[in-house]
Chain A
Amino acid sequence: LAKTTQPISMDSYEGQEVNITCSHNNIATNDYITWYQQFPSQGPRFIIQGYKTKVTNEVASLFIPADRKSSTLSLPRVSLSDTAVYYCLVVPSGGYQKVTFGTGTKLQVIP
C-alpha cells in the first residue's frame, strides 16, 4: 500500500492561499488520492478526490502531476475556520481496507 508523507504543520495568515503537498512515491495504477479535513472533536470530513491532473470543487483544488508521485491540496483565501488537520490518503479503487490516515498536516490560520 502506498505510504504518504506530508508536512506535520503549517501556518498561514487569513486571506492567503495555502498549498499542502503530499508525497506518495509508490502509488499504484488504480489508486486515487483523497484529502480529508478534521476539526477538533469531530470526525474527518471528505474534501476532494482525484486521479490525475486537476480537480476543483467549491472547497479546494487538487493538483496531481503526470507521474502521480505527489499531490497538492490548494485552499484559496483561507479563513480562521480552515484551521484543522488535513489528511492525504491513497485509496485503492477496491476500497478503504488497510488505508491509514497518517499524521496529517495541522494547519493553523493566523488572523
Chain B
Amino acid sequence: DAGVIQSPRHEVTEMGQEVTLRCKPISGHNSLFWYRQTMMRGLELLIYFNNNVPIDDSGMPEDRFSAKMPNASFSTLKIQPSEPRDSAVYFCASSFAVGGQAFFGQGTRLTVV
C-alpha cells in the first residue's frame, strides 16, 4: 500500500479563496483524522471520522472549515473563505481500528497570502 496520500503537497492561495485539501486513507482503515500543525499551536486534531461518519469535529476552528468523507477511500477538508491565519501544514491520518496505530500522510503545506 502506498500509505496515506494527500494532495496537493503545497498550496498557495489568496485570502478569500476556497481551498480544498484531499486525502486517500490506507485501504481497509476505518478511522480518518485531519490535523493542523503550526509553530504556535503544534499538532491540533481538527476532526475525526469512523466508518465515514464524522464523530468529533470540535477541533474545527470555525464555520469556514468543513470536512467530508463520501466513501471509505476519500476525504476532503475545505476552507471557504481562506484567511492568512489558516496558513499551516494539514495532515491526514488513518488507522485500522479505533485506538490503533495512526498512519500519517506527508501533509499539505497551505499558504494564504
Q: Which residues of A are interface residues toward B (Cβ below 8 A)? A: 32, 34, 41-46, 49, 87, 91-104
Contact = CB atoms under 8 A, between A and B. Distances in A.
A92 B45 CA distance: 15
Q: Which 3 A-B pairs have the closest CB atoms?
A: A43-B104, A95-B98, A101-B43
A42 B43 CA distance: 12
A46 B26 CA distance: 15
Contacts, number: 62
Q: Is the interface of B mostly helix, strand, loop or mixed?
A: strand
Contacts of A49: 101
Interface residues of B, number: 26
Interface stretch (B12-20, B50-58, B62-70, B74-82): B50-58
B42 A102 contact: yes
Q: Is the interface of A mostly helix, strand, loop or mixed?
A: loop
Name, among A92, A93, A101, A102, the residue most crowded by chain B CB atoms within 10 Å (CB to CB): A101
Name, among A43, A44, A102, A104, the residue most crowded by chain B CB atoms within 10 Å (CB to CB): A43
Contacts of B31: 95-96
B99 interface: yes
Interface string B16-54: 000000000000000101010000001111001010000
